[in-house]
Structure 1
């Protein structure tokens, strides 16, 4: 993966840790478009994300100040009207204003602890299968009995949406989680 800024890195982390995203292509092929003056130009999106439903999102990442200065939203609308068939179903613009610092923090944890640990993951599933109501991660980790490995396994369960946060917050050992209700 290639990223040129901290803003791109944060966006990439959010994409690669999102269970609804199945593939991320960084710096996909440029698309050509004709600007309002009739001049042919090209634009390279920062990412092309394929979603679980098969749809594709072309993602441009730019600092908010630059977006405003060059009226980049108008450029993206123009590009969107001229996109080749099948390139993307949606164009998204990400600036620092769209990035939720809590979501970025949690995405960093999901990325850091993404590698499976069969023993800890199985123990976390066993402990949380009996969970009724909410519990703190450190309490659940103590029941797992594998130290930090248990906490990391619980974080993987949050990422995979088998556990839910009770509040939108940065994940810490004191975070309350609850089981996903079965319908």
Structure 2
């Protein structure tokens, strides 16, 4: 029997101040004891902030058997302050992270609906769209996210087909289906990491990175670049943000790590 829904989970919670300057413990477990990078800036502390509450039209039960429910605190795509995004599966979570870094995307609404439509049996029905994406050119894309395993029966595909044909005009310009095969897990991992780091700006180390890059002639690993910044673990966070925000080009494939090679963009 499922436990009762804890409604407190759906309410905005103030994020406590926390130290964000250290290297992850997982790194030391994987590569052994490490000597801390030189840090002239001290610890980085994220100020306490109350994020925008979950904006989805459908309540998500965080206690569900056999499924993944995720509430992620990332920057709102419009207000640029922390907001709680709610996702019904890990595939939704990863696709949401990748969607929010797409420069063509202006706004993302998760769990949008209910959208009325006529089922293939002729009966009226409703559907919640996992992500409704509004692009900068005004185009609206409705995204249905589903693991491939859940498509085998064909029922969901028939429902999407009926939804596309009969949903109200103006709801969306396009309806697309996304599965775990539509993107790289490494790219999704990197996007999630960027969203976490973007929550806490670090202008002092941003400027240090800018100054250091003016002296770096070619390709360099993130580890070596971080050492030159002399900002401890804060340098890694700033370098990751620079990759996504256009100051650095990522040359290595796969997940971003201290061994990733980057190049300054002119």
What range is the shorter-chain TM-score in?
0.7 to 0.9
Aligned-pair CA distance for 1:146: 0.5
Q: Determine if the alignment matches structure 1 residue 56 to structure 2 residue 137.
A: no
Query: Within 2, Cα distance between the matches of 1:134 and 1:46?
Result: 40
Q: Determine if the alignment matches structure 1 residue 109 to structure 2 residue 201.
A: no
Q: What residue is the counterpart of 2:159 in the other structure?
A: 75
> What is the CA deviation profile of residues 96-122 of structure 1, one whole-angstrom value per residue up to 9, with x for unaligned ones?
222311111101210221121110112
Q: What residue is the counterpart of 1:85 in the other structure?
A: 169
The 1:126–1:57 alpha-carbon spacing in structure 2 relative to 1, beyond 3 Å, is farther
Q: What residue is the counterpart of 1:118 in the other structure?
A: 203
Q: What residue is the counterpart of 2:218 in the other structure?
A: 133
Unaligned runs of 5+ in 1: none
Q: What residue is the counterpart of 1:173 in the other structure?
A: 258
TM-score (norm 2): 0.61
Query: Within 2, Cα distance between the matches of 1:83 and 1:129?
Result: 54
The 1:73–1:129 alpha-carbon spacing in structure 2 relative to 1, beyond 3 Å, is farther
Q: What residue is the counterpart of 1:37 in the other structure?
A: 121
Query: Within 2, Cα distance between the matches of 1:9 and 1:85?
Result: 28
TM-score (norm 1): 0.86
Q: Which has the higher helix share?
A: 1
Q: What residue is the counterpart of 1:47 in the other structure?
A: 131
Equivalent position SS for 1:12: helix
Query: Within 2, Cα distance between the matches of 1:131 and 1:54?
Result: 41
101-110 or 1-10, which deviates more: 1-10
Unaligned runs of 5+ in 2: 1-84
Q: What residue is the counterpart of 2:86 in the other structure?
A: 2
Check whether the contact 2:120–2:158 (CA below 8 A) recurs between aligned residues: no
Question: What is the count of residue pairs matched by the alignment?
Answer: 181
Check whether the contact 1:19–1:160 (CA below 8 A) recurs between aligned residues: no
> What is the CA deviation profile of residues 44-98 of structure 1, one whole-angstrom value per residue up to 9, with x for unaligned ones?
1111122233322211111211122134334323322334333222222222222
Check whether the contact 1:138–1:174 (CA below 8 A) recurs between aligned residues: yes
